Homo-oligomer: A and B are copies of this chain.
Protein backbone atom coordinates (compact mmCIF):
# COMPACT_ATOMS: atom_id res chain seq x y z
CA UNK A 1 0.00 0.00 0.00
CA UNK A 2 1.18 3.48 -0.87
CA UNK A 3 2.10 5.61 2.13
CA UNK A 4 -0.17 8.58 2.93
CA UNK A 5 0.18 11.79 4.89
CA UNK A 6 -0.89 9.84 7.96
CA UNK A 7 2.09 7.54 7.69
CA UNK A 8 4.44 10.46 7.16
CA UNK A 9 2.98 12.30 10.17
CA UNK A 10 3.39 9.27 12.39
CA UNK A 11 6.91 8.54 11.17
CA UNK A 12 7.97 12.16 11.75
CA UNK A 13 6.06 12.45 15.02
CA UNK A 14 4.09 15.52 13.92
CA UNK A 15 0.52 16.33 12.97
CA UNK A 16 -1.10 16.18 9.53
CA UNK A 17 -1.17 19.97 9.36
CA UNK A 18 2.57 20.16 9.73
CA UNK A 19 3.18 17.52 7.09
CA UNK A 20 0.96 19.52 4.80
CA UNK A 21 2.91 22.71 5.49
CA UNK A 22 6.16 21.04 4.59
CA UNK A 23 4.68 19.36 1.53
CA UNK A 24 3.44 22.69 0.23
CA UNK A 25 6.48 24.66 1.34
CA UNK A 26 4.43 26.97 3.49
CA UNK A 27 6.28 29.12 5.99
CA UNK A 28 6.09 28.93 9.75
CA UNK A 29 7.70 25.56 10.41
CA UNK A 30 10.95 25.16 12.34
CA UNK A 31 13.86 24.11 10.14
CA UNK A 32 14.38 21.08 12.34
CA UNK A 33 10.78 19.99 11.90
CA UNK A 34 11.00 20.45 8.14
CA UNK A 35 14.00 18.15 8.10
CA UNK A 36 12.26 15.51 10.19
CA UNK A 37 9.26 15.51 7.85
CA UNK A 38 11.40 15.40 4.74
CA UNK A 39 13.32 12.47 6.14
CA UNK A 40 10.10 10.63 6.82
CA UNK A 41 8.94 11.35 3.25
CA UNK A 42 12.20 10.03 1.83
CA UNK A 43 12.22 6.97 4.09
CA UNK A 44 8.67 5.97 3.22
CA UNK A 45 8.93 6.93 -0.45
CA UNK A 46 5.84 9.04 -0.05
CA UNK A 47 4.33 10.55 -3.22
CA UNK A 48 1.44 12.94 -2.87
CA UNK A 49 -1.91 11.98 -4.40
CA UNK A 50 -2.61 15.05 -6.54
CA UNK A 51 -6.24 14.29 -7.18
CA UNK A 52 -6.96 13.97 -3.48
CA UNK A 53 -5.12 17.25 -2.93
CA UNK A 54 -7.11 18.96 -5.67
CA UNK A 55 -10.32 17.63 -4.22
CA UNK A 56 -9.50 19.02 -0.80
CA UNK A 57 -8.32 22.34 -2.22
CA UNK A 58 -11.24 22.60 -4.59
CA UNK A 59 -8.54 23.73 -6.96
CA UNK A 60 -9.51 25.16 -10.34
CA UNK A 61 -7.02 25.74 -13.12
CA UNK A 62 -7.82 28.85 -15.12
CA UNK A 63 -5.96 28.56 -18.41
CA UNK A 64 -6.07 31.29 -21.04
CA UNK A 65 -5.44 30.51 -24.71
CA UNK A 66 -4.76 33.40 -27.07
CA UNK A 67 -5.06 32.60 -30.77
CA UNK A 68 -5.28 34.64 -33.98
CA UNK A 69 -8.69 35.41 -35.40
CA UNK A 70 -9.55 35.38 -39.09
CA UNK A 71 -10.46 32.82 -41.73
CA UNK A 72 -7.28 30.72 -41.47
CA UNK A 73 -8.41 27.07 -41.54
CA UNK A 74 -5.59 25.84 -39.37
CA UNK A 75 -6.39 28.34 -36.64
CA UNK A 76 -10.07 27.53 -36.92
CA UNK A 77 -9.11 23.90 -36.44
CA UNK A 78 -7.07 24.83 -33.40
CA UNK A 79 -10.06 26.69 -32.02
CA UNK A 80 -12.32 23.71 -32.57
CA UNK A 81 -9.84 21.48 -30.74
CA UNK A 82 -9.89 23.96 -27.88
CA UNK A 83 -13.67 23.73 -27.84
CA UNK A 84 -13.41 19.94 -27.57
CA UNK A 85 -10.79 20.20 -24.85
CA UNK A 86 -13.01 22.57 -22.90
CA UNK A 87 -15.66 19.88 -22.56
CA UNK A 88 -13.53 17.16 -21.06
CA UNK A 89 -11.24 19.54 -19.16
CA UNK A 90 -14.15 20.61 -17.02
CA UNK A 91 -14.09 17.10 -15.54
CA UNK A 92 -10.56 17.74 -14.34
CA UNK A 93 -11.25 21.15 -12.84
CA UNK A 94 -9.62 22.90 -15.77
CA UNK A 95 -11.27 26.04 -17.12
CA UNK A 96 -10.27 27.13 -20.61
CA UNK A 97 -10.71 30.72 -21.74
CA UNK A 98 -10.15 31.40 -25.41
CA UNK A 99 -9.19 34.92 -26.46
CA UNK A 100 -8.83 35.96 -30.08
CA UNK A 101 -6.55 38.64 -31.39
CA UNK A 102 -5.77 40.09 -34.83
CA UNK A 103 -3.34 37.93 -36.79
CA UNK A 104 0.25 39.17 -37.24
CA UNK A 105 -0.47 42.13 -34.92
CA UNK A 106 1.98 42.12 -32.06
CA UNK A 107 0.53 45.26 -30.51
CA UNK A 108 -2.92 43.77 -30.33
CA UNK A 109 -1.38 40.68 -28.73
CA UNK A 110 0.55 42.78 -26.20
CA UNK A 111 -2.65 44.66 -25.34
CA UNK A 112 -4.47 41.43 -24.59
CA UNK A 113 -1.58 40.14 -22.49
CA UNK A 114 -1.37 43.41 -20.57
CA UNK A 115 -5.10 43.29 -19.94
CA UNK A 116 -5.04 39.90 -18.20
CA UNK A 117 -6.01 39.89 -14.53
CA UNK A 118 -3.06 38.02 -13.05
CA UNK A 119 -4.92 37.20 -9.86
CA UNK A 120 -7.48 35.17 -11.81
CA UNK A 121 -5.18 33.19 -14.07
CA UNK A 122 -3.17 30.01 -13.56
CA UNK A 123 -1.46 29.71 -16.96
CA UNK A 124 -1.29 31.18 -20.46
CA UNK A 125 -0.80 29.65 -23.92
CA UNK A 126 -0.44 31.85 -26.98
CA UNK A 127 0.23 31.72 -30.69
CA UNK A 128 2.98 34.30 -30.64
CA UNK A 129 3.76 37.23 -32.85
CA UNK A 130 6.98 38.46 -31.34
CA UNK A 131 7.87 42.04 -30.50
CA UNK A 132 9.53 43.95 -27.74
CA UNK A 133 6.19 44.77 -26.13
CA UNK A 134 5.07 41.15 -26.28
CA UNK A 135 8.29 40.06 -24.62
CA UNK A 136 7.72 42.59 -21.85
CA UNK A 137 4.18 41.42 -21.32
CA UNK A 138 5.31 37.81 -21.08
CA UNK A 139 8.01 38.74 -18.59
CA UNK A 140 5.36 40.32 -16.40
CA UNK A 141 3.31 37.12 -16.44
CA UNK A 142 6.26 34.99 -15.53
CA UNK A 143 7.25 37.31 -12.71
CA UNK A 144 3.77 36.71 -11.33
CA UNK A 145 4.65 33.01 -11.40
CA UNK A 146 2.21 32.26 -14.21
CA UNK A 147 3.57 29.67 -16.64
CA UNK A 148 3.63 30.65 -20.30
CA UNK A 149 3.56 28.28 -23.25
CA UNK A 150 3.89 29.30 -26.89
CA UNK A 151 1.82 27.44 -29.43
CA UNK A 152 2.65 26.85 -33.13
CA UNK A 153 4.76 30.04 -33.37
CA UNK A 154 7.47 30.69 -30.82
CA UNK A 155 9.24 33.61 -29.15
CA UNK A 156 12.82 33.46 -27.97
CA UNK A 157 13.30 30.83 -25.30
CA UNK A 158 13.93 33.29 -22.48
CA UNK A 159 10.34 34.53 -22.61
CA UNK A 160 8.32 31.36 -22.24
CA UNK A 161 8.44 28.09 -20.30
CA UNK A 162 7.74 25.76 -23.23
CA UNK A 163 7.17 25.83 -26.93
CA UNK A 164 4.47 23.50 -28.24
CA UNK A 165 4.94 23.11 -31.94
CA UNK A 166 7.23 21.74 -34.58
CA UNK A 167 10.82 22.55 -35.46
CA UNK A 168 10.04 24.73 -38.44
CA UNK A 169 13.52 24.67 -39.94
CA UNK A 170 13.31 20.88 -40.02
CA UNK A 171 9.82 21.13 -41.50
CA UNK A 172 11.20 23.30 -44.30
CA UNK A 173 14.00 20.82 -44.91
CA UNK A 174 11.48 18.00 -45.04
CA UNK A 175 9.42 19.90 -47.59
CA UNK A 176 12.52 20.48 -49.70
CA UNK A 177 13.59 16.81 -49.69
CA UNK A 178 10.13 15.77 -50.81
CA UNK A 179 10.00 18.52 -53.42
CA UNK A 180 13.37 17.54 -54.87
CA UNK A 181 12.31 13.93 -55.20
CA UNK A 182 8.90 14.75 -56.61
CA UNK A 183 10.33 17.08 -59.27
CA UNK A 184 12.73 14.30 -60.17
CA UNK A 185 16.00 16.09 -60.84
CA UNK A 186 14.84 18.12 -63.78
CA UNK A 187 15.92 21.77 -63.65
CA UNK A 188 13.42 24.55 -63.01
CA UNK A 189 12.16 27.24 -60.71
CA UNK A 190 10.42 26.82 -57.35
CA UNK A 191 7.79 29.30 -56.20
CA UNK A 192 7.64 30.07 -52.48
CA UNK A 193 4.47 31.38 -50.92
CA UNK A 194 4.28 32.37 -47.24
CA UNK A 195 1.76 34.10 -45.00
CA UNK A 196 4.09 36.76 -43.71
CA UNK A 197 7.81 37.07 -43.17
CA UNK A 198 7.03 38.65 -39.79
CA UNK A 199 6.28 35.37 -38.05
CA UNK A 200 9.07 33.12 -37.00
CA UNK A 201 7.54 29.86 -38.19
CA UNK A 202 7.28 30.95 -41.81
CA UNK A 203 10.76 32.45 -41.82
CA UNK A 204 12.23 29.28 -40.37
CA UNK A 205 10.49 26.98 -42.84
CA UNK A 206 11.87 29.02 -45.69
CA UNK A 207 15.39 28.83 -44.30
CA UNK A 208 15.22 25.05 -43.97
CA UNK A 209 13.74 24.67 -47.42
CA UNK A 210 16.38 26.76 -49.16
CA UNK A 211 19.19 25.01 -47.24
CA UNK A 212 18.29 21.62 -48.66
CA UNK A 213 17.42 22.83 -52.15
CA UNK A 214 20.70 24.65 -52.62
CA UNK A 215 22.77 21.85 -51.09
CA UNK A 216 21.13 18.86 -52.74
CA UNK A 217 19.06 20.00 -55.67
CA UNK A 218 21.20 22.70 -57.31
CA UNK A 219 19.24 22.31 -60.53
CA UNK A 220 16.28 23.94 -58.75
CA UNK A 221 16.07 27.68 -58.26
CA UNK A 222 14.03 29.22 -55.43
CA UNK A 223 12.30 32.46 -56.42
CA UNK A 224 11.52 35.41 -54.13
CA UNK A 225 8.98 34.63 -51.41
CA UNK A 226 5.46 35.91 -52.09
CA UNK A 227 3.23 36.82 -49.13
CA UNK A 228 -0.44 35.84 -49.00
CA UNK A 229 -1.17 36.84 -45.39
CA UNK A 230 -2.59 33.36 -44.65
CA UNK A 231 -5.74 34.53 -46.39
CA UNK A 232 -7.29 32.58 -49.26
CA UNK A 233 -8.41 35.68 -51.16
CA UNK A 234 -5.09 37.51 -50.97
CA UNK A 235 -3.21 34.29 -51.69
CA UNK A 236 -5.28 33.66 -54.78
CA UNK A 237 -4.51 36.98 -56.44
CA UNK A 238 -0.85 37.05 -55.39
CA UNK A 239 -0.22 33.54 -56.68
CA UNK A 240 -2.22 33.92 -59.89
CA UNK A 241 -0.20 37.02 -60.79
CA UNK A 242 3.05 35.38 -59.91
CA UNK A 243 2.54 32.16 -61.85
CA UNK A 244 1.29 34.25 -64.76
CA UNK A 245 4.48 36.20 -65.07
CA UNK A 246 7.05 33.53 -64.14
CA UNK A 247 7.41 30.78 -66.71
CA UNK A 248 9.26 27.56 -65.99
CA UNK A 249 7.95 26.89 -62.49
CA UNK A 250 8.18 23.18 -61.68
CA UNK A 251 7.41 23.28 -57.95
CA UNK A 252 5.47 25.29 -55.38
CA UNK A 253 6.13 25.32 -51.65
CA UNK A 254 3.22 26.83 -49.77
CA UNK A 255 4.76 27.77 -46.44
CA UNK A 256 1.72 29.17 -44.69
CA UNK A 257 -2.05 28.93 -44.73
CA UNK A 258 -4.44 30.06 -47.46
CA UNK A 259 -4.54 26.65 -49.14
CA UNK A 260 -7.95 27.33 -50.67
CA UNK A 261 -6.45 30.16 -52.71
CA UNK A 262 -3.55 27.95 -53.80
CA UNK A 263 -5.90 25.19 -54.92
CA UNK A 264 -8.09 27.63 -56.88
CA UNK A 265 -5.12 28.94 -58.82
CA UNK A 266 -3.53 25.54 -59.48
CA UNK A 267 -6.75 24.11 -60.86
CA UNK A 268 -7.45 27.19 -63.01
CA UNK A 269 -5.10 26.24 -65.86
CA UNK A 270 -4.27 22.76 -67.12
CA UNK A 271 -0.57 23.55 -67.49
CA UNK A 272 -0.31 24.02 -63.71
CA UNK A 273 -1.17 20.36 -63.26
CA UNK A 274 2.46 19.33 -63.63
CA UNK A 275 3.73 21.58 -60.81
CA UNK A 276 4.88 19.57 -57.77
CA UNK A 277 3.23 21.02 -54.68
CA UNK A 278 4.15 20.70 -51.04
CA UNK A 279 1.95 22.60 -48.60
CA UNK A 280 1.41 22.89 -44.84
CA UNK A 281 -1.41 21.94 -42.52
CA UNK A 282 -4.04 19.29 -43.03
CA UNK A 283 -7.50 20.83 -43.48
CA UNK A 284 -10.54 19.70 -45.41
CA UNK A 285 -9.21 21.68 -48.38
CA UNK A 286 -5.72 20.28 -48.34
CA UNK A 287 -7.01 16.74 -47.81
CA UNK A 288 -9.14 17.06 -50.89
CA UNK A 289 -6.20 18.50 -52.82
CA UNK A 290 -4.12 15.44 -51.87
CA UNK A 291 -6.88 13.04 -52.87
CA UNK A 292 -7.33 14.75 -56.23
CA UNK A 293 -3.63 14.97 -56.95
CA UNK A 294 -3.44 18.79 -56.81
CA UNK A 295 -1.06 18.61 -53.82
CA UNK A 296 1.70 16.00 -53.64
CA UNK A 297 2.43 16.20 -49.93
CA UNK A 298 1.25 18.11 -46.90
CA UNK A 299 3.37 18.75 -43.82
CA UNK A 300 1.19 18.86 -40.74
CA UNK A 301 1.28 19.49 -37.04
CA UNK A 302 -1.57 17.95 -35.05
CA UNK A 303 -3.60 20.82 -33.59
CA UNK A 304 -5.45 18.51 -31.19
CA UNK A 305 -2.19 17.13 -29.88
CA UNK A 306 -0.84 20.67 -29.47
CA UNK A 307 -3.84 21.80 -27.47
CA UNK A 308 -3.72 18.77 -25.17
CA UNK A 309 0.03 19.07 -24.80
CA UNK A 310 -0.19 22.77 -23.89
CA UNK A 311 -2.78 21.93 -21.26
CA UNK A 312 -0.68 19.12 -19.80
CA UNK A 313 2.44 21.29 -19.74
CA UNK A 314 0.70 24.21 -18.05
CA UNK A 315 -0.91 21.93 -15.49
CA UNK A 316 2.41 20.21 -14.77
CA UNK A 317 4.11 23.59 -14.29
CA UNK A 318 1.41 24.68 -11.88
CA UNK A 319 1.45 21.40 -9.95
CA UNK A 320 5.24 21.19 -10.18
CA UNK A 321 4.99 17.67 -11.52
CA UNK A 322 6.72 15.91 -14.41
CA UNK A 323 5.37 15.29 -17.88
CA UNK A 324 6.27 12.35 -20.10
CA UNK A 325 8.77 14.10 -22.36
CA UNK A 326 8.16 11.97 -25.44
CA UNK A 327 4.41 12.52 -25.28
CA UNK A 328 4.94 16.26 -25.61
CA UNK A 329 7.03 16.19 -28.78
CA UNK A 330 4.98 17.53 -31.68
CA UNK A 331 5.83 15.57 -34.78
CA UNK A 332 6.48 16.89 -38.26
CA UNK A 333 3.86 14.80 -39.98
CA UNK A 334 4.02 14.01 -43.68
CA UNK A 335 0.78 13.21 -45.45
CA UNK A 336 0.32 11.93 -48.95
CA UNK A 337 -2.88 10.64 -50.48
CA UNK A 338 -2.52 7.20 -48.91
CA UNK A 339 -1.95 7.86 -45.23
CA UNK A 340 -4.65 10.46 -44.64
CA UNK A 341 -6.31 9.98 -41.26
Contact = CB atoms under 8 A, between A and B. Distances in A.
Interface stretch (A45-53, A190-198, A232-240): A45-53
Interface in A315-341: 322, 324, 326-327, 329, 331-339, 341
Given A55-B55, A304-B327, A327-B304, A50 B91 contact: yes
Given A177-B336, A178-B336, A331-B333, A51 B55 contact: yes
Given A55-B51, A174-B338, A88 B324 contact: yes
Contacts of A52: 51, 55
Centre residue among A2, A170, A308, A327 by max chain B CB count within 10 A? A327
Interface residues of A, number: 44
B55 A338 contact: no
A338 B177 CA distance: 8
Contacts of A302: 331
Contacts of A212: 338
A84 B324 contact: yes
A21 to B, nearest CB: 22
A182 interface: yes
A208 B337 CA distance: 13
A277 to B, nearest CB: 14
A304 B326 contact: yes
Given A308-B327, A331-B333, A339 B88 contact: no
Contacts of A336: 174, 177-178, 334
A177 B334 CA distance: 13
Nearest to A300: B331
A165 B338 CA distance: 16
Interface string A260-271: 000000000000
A202 interface: no
Interface string A181-193: 1101000000000
A173 B336 CA distance: 10
A49 to B, nearest CB: 8
Nearest to A47: B91
A171 interface: yes
B337 A177 contact: yes
Contacts of A51: 51-52, 54-55
Contact of A333 (B50, B54, B329, B333): B333
A341 B324 contact: no
A171 B49 CA distance: 42
Contacts of A326: 84, 304
Contacts of A327: 304-305, 308
Contacts of A50: 91
Contacts of A324: 84, 88, 304, 308
A59 B111 CA distance: 48
5 contacts: A52-B55, A171-B339, A177-B337, A302-B331, A308-B324
